[in-house]
């Protein structure tokens, strides 16, 4: 999965490799940076929205991430790794947001679970597996969803998730196990 | 979690609260182990997993979950990619070009009280544009080596370049070097003793280290 967006501007840079674009952007080339923004912005938005559990703050988080990326591009040694580097920045920014709104976390949880109560059997029959997964994910407790997203979407190791979320390794494993089992159980209903 | 179907219909290894149930239902394994096993593409083969019908049910469930994950991600990405362009300009408008200005390079001026400089970032920009005006070549990183802040001090320039396959690399590098010298002498007073151009083929693999050093 490349995570690339459709071409918007006809420029030779649109076809350039990540490394070239990252190198040029690190040297201050705004056009090269714009190509990276278009190339990975959509994937970063998807990812931020999944971690945050809604898209209310996605614009802000992605914008902050790119501003940070622009400032720190000089510290990126391997330009060809710019995609995972960007994903890490947006992951961190998203998690910072979640921390900032921690007092409301439980309220969010309750709200997120609400749609699930609407005639789940009927829903399961008409919606696709994809839609069902989106619904079940949204209903997961915040901690579980965060771990699952970092693991499955961002492909973090268990240790990285623990470090990023300030949790013990065993807590991360426990949360992931619960998330997976919940998703697997729900999936049994989709058949 | 509300119980919407009778408990006995559930595959009991998926019991959310009990690791014991999980292991008992999976021939001693856990969902995490099976998930890691899938990550490794079931290698090296583990007969304890492969020969267990219960593990097979769980693995099929995990695989199905992953397929759903992938299509969910693709769907989300497709939706984000279809959005109008309005999200791009706020990002570009909010970044500071100063961040990559680099060192200040003095320019002489007839007036003793005037101080004229060009930034390192601007010089790199000129070098990139010089390359962009040529066909079939991309200029990547440009590094000014030496003390550019001292007028007349000799410096050298290192340039990474990517070219399209089939190009005559030595000739292209010579042309680029000449063009860059012309640009530098037109817009700066830098004393450039060398422009070292490192060329890589556009379609060569990143780790193939097929770099050719051109002096």
Residues 6+ away with beta carbon under 8 Å from A57: A48, A97
Residue A106 has a pLDDT of 45
The tens digit of pLDDT for each residue in B141-194 reads 999 999 999 999 999 999 999 888 888 889 999 999 999 999 999 999 999 999
- Give me the interface pTM, i.e. the ipTM: 0.75
Residues 99-158 of chain B with CB under 8 A from chain A are 99-102, 121, 124-125, 128, 132, 138-142
What is the model's pLDDT at position B143? Answer: 95
Please check whether residue B164 touches A, CB under 8 A: no
More confident residue, B117 or B20: B117
The rounded distance, in Å, linking the Cα atoms of A18 and A27 is 14
pTM above 0.95, yes or no: no
Determine, for residues B140 and A45 on separate chains, whether the beta-carbon distance falls below 8 Å.
Answer: no
Mutation target for B interface from A23, A32, A184, A189: give the one with most B CBs within 10 A: A184
Question: Do residue A30 and residue B92 have CB atoms under 8 angstroms apart?
Answer: yes
Please give the interface size between A and B, counted as residue pairs whose CB atoms are below 8 Å apart.
163
Nearest CB among B10, B74, B99 relative to A185 is that of B10
Residue A104 has pLDDT above 60, yes or no: no
CB within 8 Å of B134: residues ≥ 6 apart: B172, B175, B176, B179
Rounded distance between C-alpha atoms, residue B61 and residue B58, angstroms = 5
Contact A23 B138 (CB under 8 A): no
């Amino acid at each position: 999965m490349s995570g690339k967006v459709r071409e918007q501007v006809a420029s030779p840079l649109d076809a350039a490799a990540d490394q070239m674009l990252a190198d040029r952007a690190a040297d201050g080339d705004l056009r090269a940076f714009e190509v990276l923004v278009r190339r990975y912005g959509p994937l970063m938005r998807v990812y931020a929205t999944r971690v945050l559990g809604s898209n209310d703050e996605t614009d802000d988080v992605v914008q902050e991430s790119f501003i940070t990326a622009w400032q720190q591009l000089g510290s990126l040694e391997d330009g060809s790794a710019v995609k995972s580097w960007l994903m890490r920045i947006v992951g961190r920014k998203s998690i910072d947001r979640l921390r900032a709104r921690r007092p409301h976390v439980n309220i969010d949880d309750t709200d997120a679970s609400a749609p699930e109560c609407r005639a789940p059997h009927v829903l399961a029959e008409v919606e696709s597996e994809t839609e069902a997964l989106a619904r079940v994910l949204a209903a997961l407790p915040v901690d579980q969803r965060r771990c699952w997203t970092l693991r499955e979407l961002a492909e973090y190791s268990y240790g990285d998730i623990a470090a990023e979320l300030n949790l013990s390794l065993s807590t991360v494993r426990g949360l992931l196990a619960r998330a997976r089992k919940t998703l697997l159980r729900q999936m049994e209903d989709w058949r | 979690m509300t119980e919407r179907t009778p408990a006995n219909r559930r595959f009991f290894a998926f019991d959310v609260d009990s690791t014991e149930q999980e292991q008992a239902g999976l021939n001693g394994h856990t969902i995490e182990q099976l998930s890691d096993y899938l990550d490794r593409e079931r290698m090296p083969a583990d007969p304890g997993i492969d020969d267990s019908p219960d593990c097979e049910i769980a693995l099929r469930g995990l695989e199905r979950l992953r397929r759903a994950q992938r299509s969910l991600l693709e769907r989300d990405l497709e939706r984000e990619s279809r959005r109008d362009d309005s999200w791009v300009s706020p990002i570009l408008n909010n970044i500071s070009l100063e961040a990559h200005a680099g060192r200040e390079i003095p320019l002489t001026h007839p007036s003793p009280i005037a101080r004229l400089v060009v930034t390192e970032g601007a010089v790199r920009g000129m070098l990139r544009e010089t390359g962009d005006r040529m066909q079939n070549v991309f200029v990547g990183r440009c590094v000014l080596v030496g003390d550019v802040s001292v007028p007349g001090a000799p410096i050298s320039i290192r340039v990474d370049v990517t070219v399209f396959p089939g190009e005559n690399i030595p000739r292209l590098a010579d042309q680029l070097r000449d063009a860059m010298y012309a640009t530098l002498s037109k817009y700066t007073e830098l004393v450039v003793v060398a422009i070292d151009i490192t060329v890589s083929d556009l379609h060569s693999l990143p780790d193939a280290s097929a770099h050719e050093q051109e002096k």
